A and B are shown apart, each in its own frame.
Chain A
Amino acid sequence: MNPRTLGDELRAAAARRGDHDAIVAGPRRLSYAELDRAADGFAAGLRGLGVQRGDRVAVILRNGIEPAIAIYGALRAGAAFTPLNPTAKAHKLAHLLAHSGAIAAVCSSDIAQTVGAAAVKAPNFRHLIVAGDPIDGSRSFEELVSTEPAAMREVLDVDLSAIIYTSGSTGMPKGVVFLHRNMRFVAGSIVEYLGLHAGDRILCVLPLSHTYGLYHLIMAVRVGATLVLEHGMTFPGRIVEALEREQITVLPGVPTVWQVLISLRGLADRDLPHLRLLTNAGAALSVSQLAAVRRTFSQARMFSMYGQTECKRVCYLPPDQLNARPASVGIAIPGTEVWIEDEAGREVGPGEVGELMIRGDHIMQGYWNDPQATARKLEQGRFPGDRVLRSGDLFRRDREGFLYFVGRTDDIIKSRGEKIAPREIEEVLYAATGVREAAVVGVDDALLGQAVIAHVSAVEGYALDPLALRRHCAEQLEDYMVPKTVVVHAELPKTDNGKLDKLTLRALGPGPAARAGCV
């Protein structure tokens, strides 16, 4: 069989090594044959509910075997999956379910009421599918998975495979649209430069609801490797234990993960003979953090990488270049090209700063239901169908062609490896009583990458309480978006044309005091 779709890749893995562990999550293990059978069952269950080719199925699950089954089941049914963060608040879920036009959502029982309520206003929504104890009006995920597999219309490589939401600078997240073809291409390219193979055992502490985590599932299935899933880094002792017990060979992380790991006592002395490969993305590690990671895991090779949801991955630094250029994010991934343009659209030379442009089959089809935003991001290339992605990020390259990230052209904040639109937080702050002005900026932070700092001023006659404003944010926003510090000013600084001056606010740094003191 020549695999054309993501579902075909699972079929091929099950045919090659059916007994091999596909997913390990806590005490639960699923072989490739079992994952393949479960995906077929869930696909037949979805078809029985009326799910058709091109429909969207939201997957709102924490790391475990369920999201793997839900994703491959939806794909086999000809639907696209939309991974959503299970910690997202109700109003955000409501927006995303409506915007994606999801027909169904899969979630765990603890958030079923929230998801059900969020889906009420989503016009296409019909089926709430709950893993664990169902609620009134919901379907049981486990029952659907046990549906007798049925013959289905063939899924094509040009069918919709996923809509993945990512924060944009203009408020609510944008839905990035991919076909099977795009996702298979980029997974193949990453597998190639990392040298992943069927013997690998990948430990993923990153959420599958996020592209960095998600692609470890796609890549593991592609090569028939084992994916060991954990829920984040909460108890690092569990992670250390999993590294040893599961004989992990590949560990992907974001700076926050590495910062936690390098702070652990005794980890550097541990013998982890199987661990051969580390990858970092989401945000850059500082040169000193990178050195600490390499001391802690001295036998493993580290890949520094850069990407964005709109094309998944852009470039990587071959580990043999790490000593010579520790701050570089390397070269374009196999099968793609990148260059740097100035504002007039001319390619710039070594050392000059410009916007990074990306070309290859990994780039998205566009933003779901947002032609204006798509037109700003995707450019017509040199012939019909040739498309170029504007990264929106400023880069330079050295004489040998290696790339260096310089900064963003928008004001997106990267914290804990998550992209955060300041405007989304500012809108929540403006909705709080007594707030006259609000400006949210990111400042460098060793643990977080960037810390979210909110600067506010009060309507006359109001006294603002920073703590109360943080609580207000915590009620409305995902945890990683809640400002670490809220600084109250008499008035916020302005630029000459009267806009809030974020450069000046950013230069103020983390604010007058840390967490417990000033809030």
Chain B
Amino acid sequence: MKPSGSAAESLAEVFRCCRSELVWLGAFILGDRPAAEDVVQDVFLRMHQRSDRLADLDDPLPYLRGAVVNGCRSVLRRRLLIGRHAGKDQPCPPLSAEEAMLLSEDRRQVLAALARLPARRREVLVLRYYAGLSEAEIAVTLGISTGTVKSTAARGLAALARALKESR
């Protein structure tokens, strides 16, 4: 379906404002920025094909966040299924060497520890502490209950704290 002029303009505006944010979100979840860029590209492509849905949304950003999280899950699922990573996510902070040099050692350690967490915990922590979503919003974005969000976030944060403590 070819989008109407106003739908195309809206989509272009959303693309302009939000693409970077979404790529970073995906990169933090996947630990792999090229893959995150592919996910976000796919999301925008599908939005382009179904731009009528864009017109239905008061604010497309939450919609896009959900799409990116789901896209990242598909990537992780495919990786796991084909056994490329032997059932485990490869820790791979989404920064180039040059970019990493701009961060303090402490921040690099935090990101490395985050990348080693299981995918669900990483998703919840990134949505909570990067995207700034509330527990209720994370719950509906991930399709889980608020109690599960709370427990996953607590366990994820505790695991992160333990990992950082051990790395000292």
Partners in one complex: no
User: Which residues of B does A touch, CB under 8 Å?
Assistant: none
User: Which residues of A does B touch, CB under 8 Å?
Assistant: none
